[in-house]
Structure 1
């Protein structure tokens, strides 16, 4: 399988709750900004060309990618990450910078770009990290227009966030987006599922961590295309989240180009969990 190539954003600087007043005063998000990720000029230097050729020479024949596709401008896409305060910012930070921050300040809003190559296709992703607090329910939808994939996150060790994924986050994005836009459900903090201290704390409230099977069932219920688990702290499953989102975007775009087929029977609606 072709390697994943990531372009790290060097100016990562999320807006946190301490900057909220200035943020709202300056009205930093406009609808026009929300409609389009940052532009990035596409240039290929001789050094990049040499690197591509050298990389291809080291690949097995079955994994070689057409060099022309490497030189072509990447496809542009937009991913929006939503959910309670469950480690969304660290999920992005670990993917972009390979850096996990303990006690990450609450993010009000942040956005940036990254380049990723999946299955031979180069994609420039504009990502949007949204606030999970109720105070920003009116502000958050400004980031939704023209989204290609929604990544809905909950914490495996915070059952309330799991319920909110179904009762708040999926309904909210479906209200503002086309029904066929892919949704990926992600359980964060996988590393804490068997932590004795966390298990003891959950037991006090007669709760327990969310099981993998419950996440799968939830994904099916809300119409997500897949369910994934990750640990940003251990960098476990993080890359898989963004690879899955990229493949979902590419698949959705390919479907829009394909000839329309006759509609089949509509599946039964899922029952409340």
Structure 2
């Protein structure tokens, strides 16, 4: 049973983008370890990998949690190129972070030249209702414009944390299956005359 038994699990690469302080790391750590981390050192990008079961199939998720203030465009662009799906996070309590999501979306579209890349707009800190500055309507309108889903999360209460990652992973998986299907279809119709 040697090497074949340890078959490679599908690996899906998720990139967290958004302004500093919106809770990208808190969401990631909540998803990875089930912990809410109040204080987190935001100086560097971190990478996490976890084996999960998605719709009865095992796969691995690789999450790149960007620091949100990548000074070097080349580094940032490399991060984006490595991604198969993006969670674009803003804080529901900070309208400026919502405005910045447009920059992230534009940068990703420019680097990948692909408007169909799996992408979810995420309003985090849904537990802080009294501090809310971005309305559901405003966020949904932006998501509709971008033709992507919108979800609200709370890293603190775990509200929608699993769901937002699972939804993105399903989008990535569907896209990969679609690409494989198109590839197979393309190969089928060719015959070779000798």
TM-score, normalized by length of structure 2? 0.83
Summarize the Cα distance change of 1:134–1:253 in structure 2 as closer, same or farther, 3 Å threshold.
closer
CA distance in structure 2 between the aligned counterparts of 1:114 and 1:43, rounded to whole angstroms? 21
Which has more radius of gyration?
Answer: 1
Q: Which runs of 5+ in 1 are unaligned?
A: 1-41, 45-70, 199-207, 261-273
Aligned residue pair count: 179
Match of 1:88 among 17, 24, 28: 24
CA distance in structure 1 between the aligned counterparts of 2:68 and 2:78, rounded to whole angstroms? 14
3-state SS of 1:187 partner: strand
Match of 2:153 among 222, 230, 244: 230
Match of 2:109 among 174, 178, 193: 174
Report the equivalent of 2:137: 213
Aligned residues of 2:15 and 2:80 also touching (Cα < 8 A): yes
Residues 94-173 of structure 1 aligned to structure 2 (within 5 Å) = 94-133=30-69, 135-166=71-102, 168-173=103-108
Residues 18-97 of structure 1 aligned to structure 2 (within 5 Å) = 73-85=8-20, 86-97=22-33
Report the equivalent of 1:253: 176
Summarize the Cα distance change of 1:128–1:43 in structure 2 as closer, same or farther, 3 Å threshold.
farther
CA distance in structure 2 between the aligned counterparts of 1:90 and 1:43, rounded to whole angstroms? 37
State the Cα deviation string for residues 106-160 of structure 1 (Å, max 9, x = none).
1421112111211122211111011212634442222122321011111111001
**1:178 CA drift (Å):** 4.3
Aligned residues of 1:88 and 1:129 also touching (Cα < 8 A): yes
Aligned residues of 1:183 and 1:223 also touching (Cα < 8 A): no
CA distance in structure 1 between the aligned counterparts of 2:92 and 2:15, rounded to whole angstroms? 20
CA distance in structure 2 between the aligned counterparts of 1:170 and 1:72, rounded to whole angstroms? 35
> RMSD over aligned Cα, in angstroms?
2.2
CA distance in structure 2 between the aligned counterparts of 1:76 and 1:237, rounded to whole angstroms? 22
Q: Which runs of 5+ in 2 are unaligned?
A: 184-194
Aligned residues of 1:81 and 1:130 also touching (Cα < 8 A): yes
The higher-RCO structure (CA 8 Å, 6+ apart) is 2
3-state SS of 2:17 partner: strand
